[in-house]
């Protein structure tokens, strides 16, 4: 897939230039210098040759077939030359030229024109507005970046071309190589999803990393990434995800959601490892690219200093990994071979005067220990320390233990003195980190990924529901020009999807309210029935625990008075008389629409304090039973649901069931833009949806 980019047989540069310093010159120069072996056709109507290659006035004049064309001409003539590419049978085009969608409406129109042309001729298109593409496998450097990176097994896609240049420079300084490296710019055609699919199949790519500013189709991204991450790790850095979700929302869920939450949820649901910085991106990717996957969470630390050993221990534990307890045999072996003052428990302290041999010995012993899953080696440059030799000794130990399936990460702390040792580690594909915390973070990423791979594939459950009834309710609301469904209509929707509800009757007068209460039995709850009032208790329009007819009448009057006073224009239908639900744990289930990923489900500790406590978690719908279970168990107050201080545990199965039903509802009806069930009252047996609202598009 996408072989026209990653395995082109011939290439043309449209807009090739004669003058060094020009973009169209840099691209030709790069392609030649990268060692590309196929024909190279510079296109320029005013030149006979460029860099010793014969020039053609247009692509239509090129005598042979062209797989890949790189376009650098000014924006206004890109469409013309693209059409010529189509006529000539070009299969893939990289449009480096900027000045399209990113500059506004006119640019967007021009970009759509390009997409139309590409479709007409069945050409794939990268860009516009890109740095280009580098492929060390083919090899070809079809970009205007300076120089060719080293060969490697990491493939990188970036929505920012400028970031690409910085990363190439940084990777070069650290000896990190790439397989494929591509800037995807405006993503008019080829996007992150195409590349994930192409690189899933790519034998030369072991690790996929991505810098993304936005995702083209969130639901599809999740679907595809779920497959890809089963085979190889995908690490993504997503920028610009704060604030984007901030907007006026008319539900609890809408207020609490946001784009950063959506990305976190989505990435976790498809096994994509999220990097929070460029640093993370590379810290994680070298660990994955160089070392076997961490088979378990038990880490051994080898160090020549106490302090850094403790820092390493703290970092390992803070990331939820465990410090391995070494076997008796390992401890005895270390005691016999290290000085008496050395610590033979984990962290293994080989002492400040350790020479290279102690490092080799300790690392090998740790790798042999069946209680150890991975090793973190820390070195601080003390007076006698052999910075380079110790690195070499670690590499030799790893070589002797080849095939043990356990990762070794280095931490040569410092810079000026330790860099030479770090270089040796790097050469032998032992990732090195300047600080133990960063190494621990990389181990954590490996652990998270392993756990993802061990999970069963995602399965979305389907339960029998009354779809037609919901459709009828929505149609009716729409026909009356109402998009906000208050408790009274929303409860019918929930009932159709199988949630349990308290008995509830709409009363227009105090007499009707009393009659309803008597037939239901005291105590009851009264609350205002109005599609316009969002948070009823905020205006004192919810009265619980009403024990007799007098209290019901009083409550009715006061609720109507307050509702009228606080919202004179509200459409008020009367009061809902509701069965008093037994006290339980109040949780919230909600949904708001995320612009990238669609329905974003929320679960959390609920009731009227939900926005204060913010103890909530998110997933993109639809969710699996396992995801529903995880949502419930990952909120901070989960212990409360399990029961503390002699309390009976809440019925978590009932909460899971309710979550899955809401997930199915918002998936079946994309026209629901916001939904709150708050509270869902969970009891020892069962759960009851007490209050809910739905907003339609
Ligand atoms: P709103 O969220 O609009 O303020 P609710 O209907 O959720 O109104 O009521 C607010 C709170 O009152 C709930 O969180 C719950 O604690 C309590 N409550 C409401 N209805 C009932 C009921 N039927 N049984 C028991 N408690 C209720
Ligand atoms: Mg409520």
Torsion angle (degrees, nearest 10) of CA 116, 120, 122, 123: -50
Tell me which of 546, 605, 691 to substitute to probe ligand 1's pocket, judged by most ligand atoms within 8 Å of the beta carbon: 691
- Which atom of ligand 1 is found nearest the CA of 538? 4
Tokens standing for residue 678: 């708050």
- Among 499, 679, 682, the mutation site with the greatest number of ligand 1 atoms within 8 A of its Cβ is 679
Tell me how many degrees the CA angle 436-242-598 measures, rounded to the nearest 5: 110
Q: Is the CB of 606 under 6 A from ligand 1?
A: no
Using the mean position of ligand 2's atoms as its centre, give its distance from the Cα of residue 534 in Å: 9
pLDDT at 125: 98
Q: Are strands 68-71 and 11-14 parallel, antiparallel or unpaired?
A: parallel
Give, using CA atoms, the residue closest to atom 23 of ligand 1.
Answer: 580
Q: How far is the CA of 265 from the centre of ligand 2 (A)?
A: 25
Instruction: Give every CB contact of residue 457 below 8 A, 6+ residues apart in sequence.
Output: 226, 230
Q: Find out whether the beta carbon of 47 lies less than 6 Å from any atom of ligand 1.
A: no
What is the mean pLDDT of the segment spanning 330-342?
97
pLDDT tens-digit profile of 354-363? 999 999 999 9
Per-residue pLDDT band for 259 (boundaries 50, 70, 90) equals confident
CA of 530 to the centre of ligand 1 (A): 15
Ligand 1 centre and the CA of 653: distance in Å? 22
For residue 246, report the distance from its CA to the centre of ligand 1, in Å.
27
pLDDT at 535: 84
Count the neighbouring beta carbons within 10 Å of the beta carbon of residue 642.
14
- Average confidence score pLDDT of the chain: 94
Smallest CA-to-CA distance from 134 within 170, 98, 181, 179 is with 181
Question: Which phi and psi angles does 154 have, rounded to 5°?
Answer: -95, 135
Q: Is 542 in the pocket of ligand 1 (CB under 6 A)?
A: yes
User: Using CA atoms, how far apart are residues 556 and 452, in angstroms rounded to an integer?
Assistant: 54
Q: For residue 533, is it left (φ>0), alpha (ψ between -120 and 50) or beta?
A: beta
The pLDDT confidence band at residue 245, using thresholds 50, 70 and 90, is very low
Among protein residues, the one whose CA lies closest to atom 14 of ligand 1: 607
Ligand lying closest to the C-alpha of residue 545? 1
Kindly state the average pLDDT of the residues 421-441: 96
Q: State mean pLDDT over 230-249.
A: 72
539 CB within 6 A, ligand 1: no
CA of 562 to the centre of ligand 2 (A): 17
How many angstroms does the Cα of residue 366 sit away from the middle of ligand 1? 58
411, 313 contact by CB (below 8 A):
no
Cβ of residue 604 lying under 6 Å from some atom of ligand 1: no
Residues 540 and 551: their CA atoms lie apart, in Å, by 15
Quick count: other Cβ atoms within 10 Å of Cβ 227? Answer: 14
Ligand 1 contact, 690 CB (< 6 A): yes
Q: Can you name the residues that pair with 593 across neighbouring β-strands?
A: 599
- In 3D space, the residue among 530, 466, 515 whose CA is nearest the CA of residue 492 turns out to be 466
Q: Which two tokens stand for residue 541?
A: 């329009």
Share of the chain above pLDDT 90, in %: 88
Number of alpha carbons in the 13 Å side-chain half-sphere of residue 415: 1
CA distances from 28 to 19, 34, 53, 129 (A): 11, 10, 9, 18
pLDDT over threshold 70, residue 249:
no
- What pLDDT, in 10s, does the model give residues 199-208? 999 999 999 9
Q: Which atom of ligand 1 is nearest to the CA of 527?
A: 6
The span from the CA of 238 to the CA of 179, in Å, is 22
- How are beta strands 672-682 and 687-689 bridged, if at all? antiparallel
Q: Is 85 in the pocket of ligand 1 (CB under 6 A)?
A: no
**Domains detected in the chain:** 3-205 (3.40.50.720), 287-454 (3.40.50.261), 505-574 (3.30.1490.20), 585-696 (3.30.470.20)
Region 100-117: what's the mean pLDDT?
A: 95
pLDDT at site 646: 87
> Does residue 241 register a pLDDT over 70?
no
Pairing of strands 408-412, 374-379: parallel
How far, in Å, CA of 71 to CA of 127, rounded? Answer: 10
pLDDT confidence tier of residue 247, bands split at 50, 70 and 90:
very low
Section 40-47 average pLDDT: 97
pLDDT at 246: 42
Please state, in angstroms and rounded to a whole number, the distance separating the CA atoms of residues 174 and 349. 28
CA distance 595 to 407: 39
Q: Quick one: which ligand is closest to 608's CA?
A: 1
Taking only the tens place, the pLDDT of each residue in 301-326 is 999 999 999 999 999 999 999 999 99
Query: Whose C-alpha lies nearest to ligand 1, atom 8?
Result: 536
356 CB within 6 A, ligand 1: no
pLDDT digits (tens, 9 = 90+) for 539-591: 999 999 999 999 999 999 999 999 999 888 988 999 999 999 999 999 999 99
Distances in Å between the Cα of 536 and the Cα atoms of 215, 271, 512, 572 are 38, 40, 21, 12
- Using CB atoms within 10 Å of the CB of residue 407, give its burial: 0 to 12 exposed, 13 to 18 middle, 19+ buried: buried
Given a cut of 80, whether residue 438 has pLDDT beyond it is yes
> Residue 265 C-alpha to ligand 1 middle, in angstroms?
29
Mean of pLDDT values over 68-96: 98
Report yes or no: 285 and 207 within 8 Å, Cβ to Cβ.
yes
pLDDT of residue 608: 80
Using alpha carbons, select from 321, 428, 322, 315 the residue that is nearest to residue 378: 315
Strand 585-594 vs strand 598-605: parallel, antiparallel, or unpaired? antiparallel
Distance 501 CA to ligand 2 centre (A): 14
pLDDT classification of 255: cutoffs 50, 70, 90:
low
pTM: 0.92
Q: Whose CA is nearest to atom 5 of ligand 1?
A: 691
**For the CA of 502, the nearest atom of ligand 1:** 23
676 ligand 1 Cβ < 6 A: no
Query: In the predicted model, what is the mean pLDDT of residues 648-664?
Result: 97
C-alpha distances in Å from residue 43, one per residue of 9, 58, 67: 17, 6, 15
Residue 266 has pLDDT above 50, yes or no: yes
Average pLDDT over residues 223-248: 80
Distance 588 CA to ligand 2 centre (A): 9
At 248 the pLDDT is 46
Residue 505 CA: which ligand is closest? 1
Reported confidence tier of residue 250, pLDDT bands at 50, 70, 90: low
Q: Among 367, 401, 403, 395, which Cα is nearest to 379's?
A: 395
pLDDT band at 606 (very low <50, low <70, confident <90, very high): confident
Question: 252 pLDDT band (50/70/90 cuts)?
Answer: low
Helix-helix angle 192-201:218-231, to 10 degrees: 20
Q: Does ligand 1 come within 6 angstroms of the Cβ of 679?
A: yes
Give the distance (Å) from ligand 2 centre to CA of residue 646: 28
Under 8 Å CB-to-CB from 321, ≥6 apart: which residues? 297, 298, 299, 440, 443, 444, 447
- Sign of the C-alpha dihedral, residues 286, 287, 291, 292? negative
87 pLDDT above the threshold of 90: yes
> Percent of the chain beyond pLDDT 70?
97
The predicted pLDDT at position 288 comes to 98
Ligand 2: distance of its center to the CA of 254 in Å? 14
User: Which of 486, 526, 527, when mutated, tests ligand 1's pocket best, judged by the most ligand atoms within 8 Å of its CB?
Assistant: 527
- Summarize pLDDT for 451-476 with one digit per residue, the tens: 999 999 999 999 999 999 999 999 99
Nearest CA to ligand 1 atom 25: 581
- Number of Cβ within 10 Å of residue 461's Cβ equals 14
């Amino acid at each position: 897939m996408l072989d026209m980019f990653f395995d082109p047989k011939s290439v043309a540069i449209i807009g090739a230039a004669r003058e060094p310093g020009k973009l169209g010159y840099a691209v030709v120069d790069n392609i030649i210098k990268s060692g590309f072996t196929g024909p190279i056709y510079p296109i320029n109507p005013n030149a006979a040759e460029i860099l010793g290659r014969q020039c053609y006035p247009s692509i239509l004049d090129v005598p042979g077939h062209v797989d890949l064309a790189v376009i650098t001409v000014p924006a206004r003539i890109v469409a013309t030359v693209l059409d010529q590419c189509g006529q000539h049978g070009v299969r893939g085009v990289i449009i480096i030229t900027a000045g399209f969608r990113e500059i506004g409406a006119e640019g967007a129109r021009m970009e759509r024109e390009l997409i139309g042309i590409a479709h007409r001729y069945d050409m794939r298109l990268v860009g516009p507005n890109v740095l280009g593409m580098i492929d060390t496998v083919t090899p070809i450097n079809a970009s205007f970046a300076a120089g060719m990176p080293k060969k490697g097994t990491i493939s990188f896609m970036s929505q920012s071309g400028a970031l690409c240049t910085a990363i190439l420079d940084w990777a070069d300084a650290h000896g990190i190589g790439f397989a494929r490296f591509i800037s995807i710019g405006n993503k008019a055609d080829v996007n992150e999803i195409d590349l994930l699919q192409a690189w899933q199949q790519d034998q030369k790519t072991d690790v996929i990393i991505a810098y993304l500013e936005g995702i083209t189709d969130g639901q599809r991204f999740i679907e595809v990434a779920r497959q890809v991450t089963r085979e190889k790790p995908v690490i993504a850095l997503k920028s610009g995800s704060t604030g984007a979700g901030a907007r006026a929302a008319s539900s609890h869920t809408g207020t609490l959601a946001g784009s950063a939450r959506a990305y976190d949820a989505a990435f976790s649901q498809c096994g994509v490892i999220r990097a929070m910085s460029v640093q993370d991106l590379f810290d994680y990717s070298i660990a994955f690219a160089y070392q076997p996957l961490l088979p378990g969470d038990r880490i051994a630390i080898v160090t020549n200093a106490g302090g850094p050993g403790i820092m390493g221990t703290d970092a390992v534990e803070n990331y939820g990994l465990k410090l391995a307890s070494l076997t008796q045999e390992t401890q005895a072996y270390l005691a016999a071979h290290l000085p008496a003052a050395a610590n033979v428990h984990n962290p293994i302290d080989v002492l400040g005067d350790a020479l290279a041999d102690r490092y080799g010995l300790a690392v090998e012993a740790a790798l042999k220990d069946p209680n150890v899953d991975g090793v973190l080696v820390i070195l601080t440059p003390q007076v006698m320390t052999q910075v380079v030799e110790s690195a070499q000794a670690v590499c030799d130990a790893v070589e002797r233990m080849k095939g043990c399936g356990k990762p070794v990460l280095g931490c040569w702390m410092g810079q000026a003195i330790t860099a030479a040792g770090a270089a040796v580690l790097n050469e032998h594909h032992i990732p090195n980190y300047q600080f133990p915390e960063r190494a621990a973070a990389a181990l954590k990423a490996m652990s998270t990924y392993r756990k993802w791979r061990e999970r069963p594939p995602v399965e979305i459950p389907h339960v029998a529901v009354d779809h037609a009834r919901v459709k009828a309710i929505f149609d009716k609301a729409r026909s009356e020009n109402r998009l906000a469904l208050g408790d009274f209509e929303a409860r019918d929707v929930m009932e159709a999807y199988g949630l349990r509800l308290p008995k509830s009757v709409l009363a227009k007068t105090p007499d009707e309210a009393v009659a309803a209460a008597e037939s239901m039995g005291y105590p009851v709850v009264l609350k205002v029935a109005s599609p316009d009032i969002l948070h009823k208790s905020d205006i004192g329009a919810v009265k619980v625990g009403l024990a007799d007819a007098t209290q019901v009448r009083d409550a009715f009057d006061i609720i109507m008075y307050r509702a009228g006073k606080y919202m004179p224009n509200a459409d008020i239908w009367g009061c809902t008389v509701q069965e008093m639900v037994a006290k339980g744990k109040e949780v919230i289930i909600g949904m708001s629409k995320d612009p990238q990923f669609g329905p974003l489900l929320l679960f959390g500790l609920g009731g009227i304090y939900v926005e204060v406590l913010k103890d909530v978690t998110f997933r993109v719908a639809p969710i699996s039973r396992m995801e529903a279970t995880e949502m419930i168990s990952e909120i901070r107050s989960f212990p409360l649901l399990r029961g503390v201080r002699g309390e009976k545990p809440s019925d978590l199965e009932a909460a899971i069931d309710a979550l899955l039903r809401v997930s199915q509802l918002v998936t079946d009806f994309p026209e629901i833009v916001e939904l709150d069930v708050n509270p869902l009252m969970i009891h020892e047996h069962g759960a009851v949806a007490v209050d809910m609202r739905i907003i339609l598009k």
